[in-house]
Amino acid sequence: MTDSAPTLMRGQEVAAALEAELRKGFDTLGFAPGLAVVRVGDDPASEIYVNHKIRACERLGFYSEAHHLPASSTQSEVQQKLEALNADSRIHGILLQLPLPQHLDEKPLLSVIDPAKDVDGFHPINGGRLLAGQPHLLPCTPAGIMEILRYYDVQLEGLRAVVIGRSNIVGKPMALLLLQANASVSVLHSRTPDLSAYTREADLIVVAVGKQKVLTAEMVKPGVVVVDVGMNRLEGRKVTGDVDFDSVAPRCRLITPVPGGVGPMTIAMLLKNTLLAAQSYT
């Protein structure tokens, strides 16, 4: 299992399969699911992500609206925009693109979104449902990773899983989903003194830190499955993950590349959540 070519888990392929499923679900719905994306300010990466999301809607025939508010918007202006979208019957899913400009407080704004339209799964009600084992709308990135693992037939029951990163967007919900699938889960973070003590024992490692080379070859055992959530922009336009791919990949049974791994699945799951929200609306 060491130093042979690993199988790449290509999210692009999984996303294409999921999009085909979604088209079938859409056909039986009888109306177009509607997604509204709200972006505040001029973060250049956010602009690219939002464009990808809108284009994905267009590809599937979903109705979509991109709302761009100026960086100087006040907390109550953003709140009013979200409330208007809550009341809009064409809109079944609402997404507030993060990060927000520094003067805005993200948590109360995420809580303004109607939990039934919360296609990011970031509302505390949806977080609580996940914690209670009664999930409805799941955060897109960890839910997409579960789909990738299913597609590549990774049996999670009894696995030693390590999640590096404890964000509300990826790390925490990822840990809960793996736990629900009967893996034994450790969550590591910036105050964990010795990452290797955990990662060397792990059968599955999900890295979601936002820093290059968090995981290197000597930190993993042969035959491990690695999922890289990182999207770090290098000089120029090149993007790299959190895993030192060239050294780690030869030790892996399966690994996601960056780009082309987790990223495409995040968008496919957003479309899935929008369809689910529209189906519940009927």
Catalytic residues: 53, 97, 120
What spatial distance separates the first Cα and last Cα of the chain, rounded to whole Å?
50
Min dist. Cβ of residue 156 to ligand GUN (A): 23
- 95: contact with ligand GUN by CB under 6 A: yes
Stretch that binds ligand GUN, among 25-33, 81-89, 92-100, 209-217 (CB under 6 A): 92-100
- 97: contact with ligand GUN by CB under 6 A: yes
The residue of the chain with the least Cβ separation from ligand GUN equals 98
Q: How many residues bind ligand GUN (CB under 6 A)?
A: 9
Are 243 and 228 in contact by the 8 Å Cβ rule? The answer is yes
Measured in whole angstroms, the distance separating CA 100 from the mean position of its chain's CA atoms is 18
Separation between Cα atoms, residue 166 and residue 209, nearest integer Å: 8
CA angle centred on 83, ends 77 and 84, rounded to 5°: 90
For 136, list phi and psi in degrees, rounded to 5. Answer: -120, -80
C-alpha distances in Å from residue 258, one per residue of 36, 56, 92, 263: 27, 19, 31, 8
Separation between Cα atoms, residue 49 and residue 39, nearest integer Å: 10
Site string for ligand GUN, 150-169 (x = CB under 6 A): -------------------x
Span 10-29, contacts to ligand GUN by CB under 6 A: none
Min dist. Cβ of residue 41 to ligand GUN (A): 13
Separation between Cα atoms, residue 123 and residue 115, nearest integer Å: 6
* Residue 36 or 224 having the CB closest to ligand GUN: 36
Span 120-149, contacts to ligand GUN by CB under 6 A: 120, 140-141
Min dist. Cβ of residue 252 to ligand GUN (A): 25
Site string for ligand GUN, 48-87 (x = CB under 6 A): ----------------------------------------
C-alpha distances in Å from residue 34, one per residue of 179, 278, 281: 32, 8, 11
- 98: contact with ligand GUN by CB under 6 A: yes
Q: Is the peptide bond before 70 cis (omega within 30 degrees of 0)?
A: no
Sites of contact with ligand GUN (CB under 6 A): 95-98, 120, 140-141, 169, 266
